[in-house]
Amino acid sequence: MALIRLPGLIDAHVHLREPGYEHKEDFGSGTAAALAGGVTVMLDMPNTQPPTGTPEQFFTKVQLAQAKALCDVGIFVGATTTALDAYLPVAAAACGLKIYVSDTFGSLRIEELSLLHRFFRGWAERGDALGYRSAANPTGIGPIAVHAEELMVPVCLALSHLYAVPLHIVHVTRRSEIELICRAKERGYPVTCEVTPHHLFLTTEDAARLGTLGDMRPRLAPPDDVAAMWEHMAVFDIFATDHAPHTFAEKGIGVPVAPPNPPPGVPGVETMLPLLLTAVHEGRLTIDDIVERCVAGPQRVYGIPAQPDTWIEVEVDTPYTLRNEAMLTRVGWTPFAGQEVFGRVERVILRGREVFADGKILAAPATGRVLFQETN
Ligand SMILES: [Zn+2]
């Protein structure tokens, strides 16, 4: 039995659902699931109810997270068609700006060039004034993160290039998309990108078996596109889960009448590390690949400081089966249920305190901190 020690992981793309959808998840349950998955920092997306589009909505969310979070959390602001760029005064207190330009859960989709232009120009003006966040400039602003699929990828690459704004393209799934991002990086564009475990380990061939439990945005991709993610592994800066819980009932499982439009999205924060370590076991990844994309990459892209005296201990030699019943996410399921994996998180130490051990959460509420608040 071999125990390895890794830094606490960063999951740079999660939906903790609070406020508005606490029956799916909240800052308490979502950060408990994080610790069980070896994650000690999460970056939370803005498509809550209400969305995180104004300073008031942003600070409401900060207070909720400060009261409940068991690990550290960064909060995104989001571009909306109703509040427009009202978030600009709190830009430096957010981990970044999220813009949805493709189909998603919620109502934040932006489809007009005039709006996109406004959002990129406004963020660039803040960036010109404050700089972009890095170890050398901890009070700058973060990148623009986009959910962009298909033709919206080159649109966002062009806007980022024209305004010299750091652009992070979340959950890439298609060969054409990663090839374009690769080309943009070679040409010196300020672009970074991420891939989710479900888009690395599931394809359209799993979709029929999984039904609504395998439905997310972007959808699972055909095997050739998934192969392209692995071929271009060196292009990816970040592994992030897009942890997006919905209940079994909302997914139409165990209810007499199937809902007409089951929401897209699947939980993932508890299964990322075992899935990646299983790929290490199979020789498809290295431990360094994981640390680079779950720690160093997110630190670099979002300017996240290292957590002192923080590490996780993971048993990597004994296989076990992922089970819905073992999940701490409020919705209690994973699309990987039944799969045999390697890599069980045994212990999590956050700032010198044991916060998770032997399957049990030991952290008290408010153990976690909200990132980037000292700038205000
Ligand atoms: Zn997402």
- Whole-model pTM? 0.97
For residue 2, how far is its CA from the centre of ligand 1 (angstroms)? Answer: 34
376 has pLDDT over 50: no
Give yes or no for a contact between 85 and 118, defined as CB atoms under 8 angstroms apart.
Answer: yes
pLDDT of residue 375: 54
Residues 132, 73: Cα–Cα separation, whole Å: 19
For residue 105, how far is its CA from the centre of ligand 1 (angstroms)? Answer: 8
Which residues does 58 contact at the CB level (< 8 Å), separation at least 6? 52, 75, 77, 87, 90, 93, 94
The count of C-alpha atoms lying within 13 angstroms of the C-alpha of 283, restricted to the half-sphere facing its C-beta, is: 0
For residue 30, how far is its CA from the centre of ligand 1 (angstroms)? Answer: 14
104 has pLDDT over 50: yes
Nearest to 239 by CA among 270, 268, 280, 196: 196
Give yes or no for a contact between 32 and 245, defined as CB atoms under 8 angstroms apart.
Answer: no
For residue 3, how far is its CA from the centre of ligand 1 (angstroms)? Answer: 32
Q: What H or E segment, with its residue span, contains residue 207?
A: helix 204-210
For residue 283, how far is its CA from the centre of ligand 1 (angstroms)? Answer: 29
Tokens of 227: 């192969």
3-state secondary structure of 182: helix
Number of CB atoms found within 10 A of residue 122's CB = 18
Identify the band that residue 109 occupies on the pLDDT scale cut at 50, 70 and 90: confident
Average pLDDT over residues 36-60: 98
H/E/C letters for each residue in 10-36?
EEEEECCCCCCCCCCCCHHHHHHHHHH
pLDDT of residue 111: 84
pLDDT of residue 107: 66
Give yes or no for a contact between 219 and 207, defined as CB atoms under 8 angstroms apart.
Answer: yes
For residue 353, how far is its CA from the centre of ligand 1 (angstroms)? Answer: 30
pLDDT in tens, 158-205: 999 999 999 999 999 999 999 999 999 999 999 999 999 999 999 999
Tokens of 130: 């404050």
For residue 244, how far is its CA from the centre of ligand 1 (angstroms)? Answer: 7
In order, the DSSP letters of 258-311 are --SSPPP----TTTHHHHHHHHHHTTSS-HHHHHIIIIIHHHHHHTPPPPTT-E
For residue 170, how far is its CA from the centre of ligand 1 (angstroms)? Answer: 8
For residue 318, how far is its CA from the centre of ligand 1 (angstroms)? Answer: 32
pLDDT in tens, 69-90: 999 999 999 999 999 999 999 9
